[in-house]
Structure 1
Amino acid sequence: MTTATPCPAAAQPGALCPPAPGAWSVRPARSDDAAALAALSRPFVRSGALRERPRIQYVSDAPDFLVVEAPDGALEGCVALSVHRADPGAGRPAAGVLYNFCVAGHRQGGGLGARLLLAALARARSRSLQTLFAATTGGGRLFLRHGFAPVCPNQAPAAWVQALDPRREARVLARAV
């Protein structure tokens, strides 16, 4: 995930700054958002920050996603939360994994990522998850500012860790919910 400097209080005319926070909504994604989710993710796939997913996967995974919707209906950010059941045999409680977290480049630095992350944390709490994990190929500053810390991958859900592409050299981060 890349970040940008927030817009100054007296922005230049025509500068791309998000409107007041109340004008935006965070909502669960719908299957008909799949094309917009894929389009929003595409620049991050090209940069190597996200793995490529076919459009049909966005349709099937839509229930995992939260989106930030602009007043005009455009999707400007998204994050997905997958739930991994407890594994008592391995001593692991139920956990969540954040994936496909992105904010449109022209909207970065205005707090939309933080709003998405806080909504994902609330969703994780509502599902009685104990820990939330994320993998990042970048610095992970947003995660770190919100209480995530680097952890050994073997602390995360095994199926998710096995699906990580080692060539991407992602860092695994976690925080208690």
Structure 2
Amino acid sequence: MTSTFSIRPARTGDVAAIKKLVAPLAERRILMAKETVAYYESLQEFKIAEAPDGGVIGCGALHVMWEDLAEVRTLAADGEWRGKGVGHALVETLLEEARALGVARVFCLTFEVDFFKRHGFEVMADQTAVDPQVYSELLRSHDEGVAEFLDLARVKPNTLGNTRMIKFL
């Protein structure tokens, strides 16, 4: 909790607000828009930044990919709240959750390289972060984020040209 906003788990009633936060970023090809059902299916992964008046001013999700690997996804803040610590608070909350779950590495796809560097992420040079056996298991996932992490050809048309980064916890 900060003096001006709080972080809490997402609720079903937040899905419309999450979509509203993502929409302008998706239009600018910074984030990928998802179908409404995808937000409901992954709702337990989301944290919400809430203003004192109850308005949703930010969101972010932690998606576990493997025993020791998770991804920070759909990190967004309302334009009027950018630069006021919303993204920072969300990332720190998601990293705390990753540690609590026993995750050793957290990955992200981002255009905000400097922001994630300030949180200890580094640009991934290659895929050596995943051993061949885990890679073969991850290939079985239907999740688009996993496919993007693995840099699979089938997601190339959807890739936004963002940077793959990782943090070791």
Q: Which of the residues 129, 133, 141 maps onto 2:114? A: 141
Residue 6 of structure 1 corresponds to which residue in structure 2?
Answer: none
Match of 2:98 in 1: 124
Count of residue pairs the alignment pairs up: 150
Amino acid at match of 1:114: H
Q: Does 2:14 align with 1:36?
A: no
Q: Name the CA distance, whole Å, in 1 between partners of 2:115 and 2:121.
A: 9
Matches within 5 A, 1:6-155: 21-86=2-67, 94-136=68-110, 138-154=111-127, 155=129
Report the CA distance shift for 1:163/1:151 in structure 2 as closer, same or farther (over 3 A): closer
- Deviations 1:50-85 (CA, angstroms, capped at 9, x unpaired): 111011211111101011000111111111100122
Q: How far apart in 2 are the matches of 1:79 and 1:115?
A: 10
2:166 aligned partner, one-letter code: A
Q: 1:153 to 1:83 in 2, by over 3 A?
A: farther
CA apart distance, 1:22 = 1.8
20-29 or 56-65, larger mean C-alpha shift:
20-29
Aligned mate of 1:170, from 136, 144, 162: 162
Whether contact under 8 Å (1:153, 1:161) holds in the other structure is no
- Residue pair 2:65, 2:146 contacting (<8 A) in 1 also: no
**Distance between the aligned counterparts of 1:153 and 1:54, measured in 2?**
30
Give, as a single letter, the amino acid of the residue that structure 1 aligns with 2:23.
R
Quick one: which amino acid aligns to residue 30 of structure 1? R
Q: TM-score, normalised by structure 1?
A: 0.78
3-state SS of paired residue (1:152): coil
TM-score calculated relative to the size of structure 2 = 0.81
Preserved CA contact (<8 Å) 2:57 2:81: yes
CA distance in 1, matches of 2:81, 2:51: 10
Other structure's SS at 2:57 match: strand
Matches of 2:121 and 2:46, distance apart in 1: 20
Deviations 1:85-127 (A, max 9, x none): 23xxxxxxx2110111111111101111111111011111110
Structure 2: how far apart are the matches of 1:95 and 1:76?
27
User: Which amino acid in the other structure matches residue 173 of structure 1?
Assistant: M
What runs of 5+ residues in structure 1 fail to find an aligned partner?
1-19, 87-93
